[in-house]
Chain A
Amino acid sequence: MLAVSVRRGVENKILFSAKDLCTWFELRRWGFFRVGSVKAVDGVSFELRRGETITIVGESGCGKSTLAKTILGLCLPARGELNFDGKRLNGLNTRQMRSHRSKIGYIQQDPYGALPPFMTVRRILEEPLRINKTGKKEEMKRRVREVLAEVKLTPVEDFIDKFPHMLSGGQQQRVVIARSIVMKPRLIVADEPISMLDASVRIEILELIRGLQHAHNLGVIYITHDLSTVRHFSEHIAVMYGAKFAEKAKVKDILDNPLHPYTRALLSAVPKLDPANVTTFKEVPPGEPPSLLKPPSGCRFHPRCYAIIKGLCDVESPLEFEAKKGHSVACWLYRK
């Protein structure tokens, strides 16, 4: 822990930043005619320093996973700017884009689906190395053993020649994590890495990611819909609603003092160990998450909001107001 804190004492430089990022999917009829577009990510900005974690939290269908894919370069942004490690990512050609992608680790939600079922663990871990032509065969073999040991799949011999279906869910997710770090990336995108695992292994996996982050000073973008794991895991948090960030701050600030009405509702939905929960009914915002094909006018949360300001919230889209230093919120309630 000492080494970690020392490293953190140094002002880490910005590893990744997004500015006004938009990812839109066009809808076509009969493969020809445009009939509209789904704005899955619509004007998102954030930055991340080395060794830090940002959690992006939001309900299903709010655009979290699309944001992850845009960061990974799997979806092309329609607008906005992406910077990674001091390099601008917009306008890269296919080859540059591929080498960019290999510098970001990707941990997926479904560990079984994320591993090719017809490859052994050895082959799965060698693939990124082979594709990016890193080093000789011997080095590749050594690196594979190294990462397997790092994700604590030991003894290595017991796992290296297994097919994914022979492993448990937690072991599969460890292989996925091993694959994400095999190229020695500086940034890891973890898209709901624990939501499909048994409760018993969730903490282990989170601790593993945390440990790897400390060991290699990695930036982590952690995407989840589950707020209960966030406090011990990350420094920053961004609450996403309807393809936009509703609120963005340090974890402590948001968990202790949520500002946006949506964040408040989200936090109140987190179960707490309180016997009173048996009898109380939790207040949840009425209505459905917004359609990203035809989002509501003005603030996207206004149809469900208890503090709606008529004539403003339903007309004008809110700006990001800085309520406190490092705590921005997109809500008209905090206009100055």
Chain B
Amino acid sequence: MKILIDAIRQLARYPSAIAGLIIIGTLIGMSFYAVITIPYSEAIKLWQGRDGVWNEIPRNAEPKWVNLFPGINLPETFILNSEDIVSKSLQPLGGGIKKIEKRMEFDFGYDCFPQEMSLFFDATYDERPPHVFLTWLTPDGREINLAERRADAPYRISLDRDLAREIGGLAPEVGLFADPFAEEIVPLQGRYGLQITGWLFEEDSSLDVRLVVFGQVHGIAGTDHMRRDLMVALLWGAPIALTFGFLAAVGVTASTFIIAAIGVWFGRWVDAVIRWITQVNIILPVLPILIIVGTFYSRSIWVMLGVIIALSIFSAGIFVYRAMFLQIKGMPYIEAAKAYGASNFRIIFQYMLPKLVPVLIPAFVMTIPAMVFLEASLAVLGLGDPLLPTWGKVLKDAWVNGALLMGHYYWVLLPSALLMMTGLGFAMVGYALDRIFNPRLRES
């Protein structure tokens, strides 16, 4: 224990170790933030994307920070709801029929067209849904009739082919915002409006509308092909990756180490049997076995963790640790310790173990990112956990949907960057620990 505390104190002397610790600390902070702000069940629900949780989020949107680059001014999503209504009137027509008029206005000041437009109705009725007539008002005073329809299903303005034909063959989200007098197709900046005229056919009927103008950017991380905010996966990927990496590294290192110690300590047939099993085990290919397990049994990340640890109990590391243990067992100072009466327990833990700590701790720290990468590779190969949002699964989605081909660089960049930072952080700490635990590697 004292050794570890000393080591942590000495880490402060190495700038690279501090940088590594900052990275690891950030990742751990990210994990706590993710787990606290998005509870587990919430994260699963969000990532599955059922019940239209992502309805009002643009598809394949770039992160918002791209607007910080000069010359880029991509529109953000904006939602017009009852708060943006500038005028409203309700006029009973008799026979329970009411005429409702609403007008919403908003400013549009971007150099790019929005990605998509949808109108969502929030209507209450028993049998007859309200009827609406929609008019689009442009800054230069034009009035474009959008549609006349029943308010029982969302009106996907972007998918309205009749409207597209009417405004000159342009996609509605382009045509409605285009400057009619410009030579090129550029958006006209200014104040736009939407006039809604509705008829309610029932006494208790009501009508509320929301216009969603999907932007080209969303959040810090952008969105994917299923409109999911990538931030959910990037945030939640951290606790999953760290937990997986840590548990796998503990399992792999500790089991290998203990088996090696047992073999050396008891010697004779125990050692022989351990060596035979190890020799067989190390020629078993790990990845194909994981693929078989993932394909035929379960892709759960915890099953994968168990299989990885089980396969590495008798891994090649045993030969490494065994060789070291044998060497240490034969050291004169072990003999000296026996000569002045040290117990077996003391010899193992105070004399043999400290000699291996220099190798063990850095190896353990370096195993963590290796396991994180392994988990990500499994996810990219399609063996990711079916429920959990992980970095590997984001990469897999990006790859399947041709993210780089389509220019969605952020989709690949962010999870890869997080994976690489994880590796970098642990590696920097690992190398510093290596120097600390091997006094002879220390600079004098």
Chain A interface (Cβ within 8 Å of chain B)?
A: 28, 30-32, 69, 72-74, 98-99, 101-102, 104, 106, 108-110, 113-118, 127-128, 131-132, 163, 165, 176, 179, 183
Contacts and interface: CB of A to CB of B under 8 A. Distances in A.
Contacts of B269: 30-32
B355 A72 contact: no
Nearest to A104: B339
Given A28-B268, A31-B267, A132 B333 contact: no
5 contacts: A98-B343, A106-B336, A108-B335, A118-B358, A128-B341
A179 B272 contact: no
B332 A98 contact: no
A127 to B, nearest CB: 7
B332 A131 contact: no
Nearest to B358: A118
B355 A118 contact: yes
B354 interface: yes
B335 A131 contact: no
A179 B332 CA distance: 14
Nearest to A124: B333
Given A117-B355, A118-B355, A132 B332 contact: no
A62 B203 CA distance: 114
B340 A31 contact: no
Contact of B440 (A30, A74, A99, A165): A165
B331 A118 contact: no
Contacts of B351: 116
B13 interface: no
Given A101-B341, A102-B341, A117 B439 contact: yes
Given A31-B267, A113-B332, A117-B439, A131 B355 contact: no
Nearest to B328: A116
Nearest to A118: B354
B84 to A, nearest CB: 71
A176 B335 CA distance: 13
B354 A109 contact: no
B335 A74 contact: yes
A132 B341 contact: yes
Contacts of A32: 268-269
B387 interface: no
A98 B340 CA distance: 7
B47 to A, nearest CB: 48
A116 B338 CA distance: 13
Contacts of A98: 341, 343
B196 to A, nearest CB: 79
Interface in B257-278: 267-272
Contact of B339 (A74, A116, A117): A74
Contacts of A179: 336, 340
A1 B439 CA distance: 44
Interface of B: 267-272, 331-333, 335-343, 346, 351, 354-355, 358, 439-440
Nearest to B331: A113
B267 A74 contact: no
A127 B340 contact: yes
B346 to A, nearest CB: 7
A28 B440 CA distance: 39
Contacts of A176: 336
Contacts of B343: 98, 131
B330 to A, nearest CB: 9
Q: Which 7 residue pairs are nearest across A and B when measured between Cβ atoms?
A: A31-B268, A128-B340, A98-B341, A31-B269, A113-B332, A102-B341, A106-B339
A32 B270 CA distance: 11
Nearest to B344: A94
A163 B342 CA distance: 21
Given A127-B342, A165-B439, A30 B336 contact: no
Contacts of A99: 341
B338 A74 contact: yes
Contact of B342 (A104, A115, A131): A131
Given A32-B268, A73-B339, 20 more contacts: A28-B268, A98-B341, A101-B338, A101-B339, A106-B339, A109-B332, A110-B332, A113-B331, A113-B332, A113-B333, A114-B333, A116-B355, A117-B355, A118-B355, A127-B337, A127-B340, A127-B342, A128-B340, A132-B340, A163-B439
Query: Max chain B CB contacts within 10 Å: which of A31, A69, A109, A115?
Result: A31
A114 B336 CA distance: 7
Contacts of B332: 108-110, 113-114
B336 to A, nearest CB: 5
Contacts of A183: 340
B439 A101 contact: no
B137 to A, nearest CB: 80
Contacts of B346: 131
A131 B337 CA distance: 10
A102 B342 CA distance: 9
Nearest to B333: A116
Contacts of A113: 331-333
Contacts of A115: 333
A59 to B, nearest CB: 21
B355 A31 contact: no
Nearest to B3: A118
B339 to A, nearest CB: 4
A132 B331 CA distance: 22
A103 to B, nearest CB: 9
A119 to B, nearest CB: 8
Given A101-B340, A106-B340, A31 B354 contact: no
A331 to B, nearest CB: 34
Given A31-B271, A108-B335, A113-B332, A118 B439 contact: yes
Nearest to B271: A31
A108 B334 CA distance: 11
